[in-house]
Amino acid sequence: MKVQTKSKKVNKAWLNDHVTDPYVRQAQKEGYRSRAAYKLKEIDEALHLIKPGQLVVDLGAAPGAWSQYLRRKFAPKVAGQGGAAVGDLNGRILALDLLEFEPIEGVEFIQGDFREQAVADALAAALGGASVDVVVSDMAPNLSGVEDVDAARVEHLIELALDFCQQHLKPDGALVAKVFHSAGYSQLVELFKQNFQVVKPVKPKASRDRSAETFLVGLRLKRPKR
């Protein structure tokens, strides 16, 4: 009974925080599918990563707020139903997620697990040989609560994203990836430094203070020495 009571209290506290969260309210007002849109928006406005005409890959795209933000950057007109900007799309967005993804006009979507080679191959095939300007990754594993296990799972996803960048990102491209400021964080920073000339850790204001979530941004790809 005590566990149930505590659970109810936790759920009630989360619900209260969610309902009163200014970013949740703003997302509802502006038609974004989640408050996560403002995390990418802050990062982009600080570093000027997203520009019309680019090819952007959105990994871990569901429910679609980041793709919506990208859509608005590529068609910066009045937002229509569903939060996506209306008008012709000046750029290309390729989204991928294990979960279902409600369609966004102009956004190409592949459903599958990025950890599976067949899915990575399908994503590569969809590019059609084109090089990518920016990769954004909001991917996160199911966390077990076991610190070392969770750190290994996060690192594996980052390694896959970095490998994808080595294969498909333009030399002056960028990677934005969600990580967690916990066990294994310093190793993730080191991985980024091995792959990018510039590495910037960013904690957007839209990311809740109590969350260990943070983002690493890699700029200007390094090619591995042969």
Catalytic positions are: 178
Asked whether residue 97 is marked as a ligand-binding residue, the answer is yes
Q: Would you give the distance in Å from CA 48 to the centre of its chain?
A: 16
Separation of alpha carbons 56 and 51, rounded Å: 10
Largest CA distance in the chain: 61
52 contacts 90 by C-beta, under 8 angstroms: yes
Query: DSSP string covering 105-141, please?
Result: TTEEEEES-TTSHHHHHHHHHHHTTPPEEEEEE---P
Separation of alpha carbons 193 and 71, rounded Å: 30
Asked whether residue 14 is marked as a ligand-binding residue, the answer is no
> What's the residue count for the chain?
226
Which helix (H) or strand (E) covers residue 191, if one does? helix 185-195
Integer distance in angstroms from the first to the last C-alpha of the chain?
Answer: 61
49 contacts 134 by C-beta, under 8 angstroms: yes
Asked whether residue 113 is marked as a ligand-binding residue, the answer is yes
Nearest CA to 103 among 92, 112, 95, 114? Answer: 95
Q: Give the residue numbers of the binding site for S-adenosyl-L-methionine.
A: 64, 66, 97, 113, 138
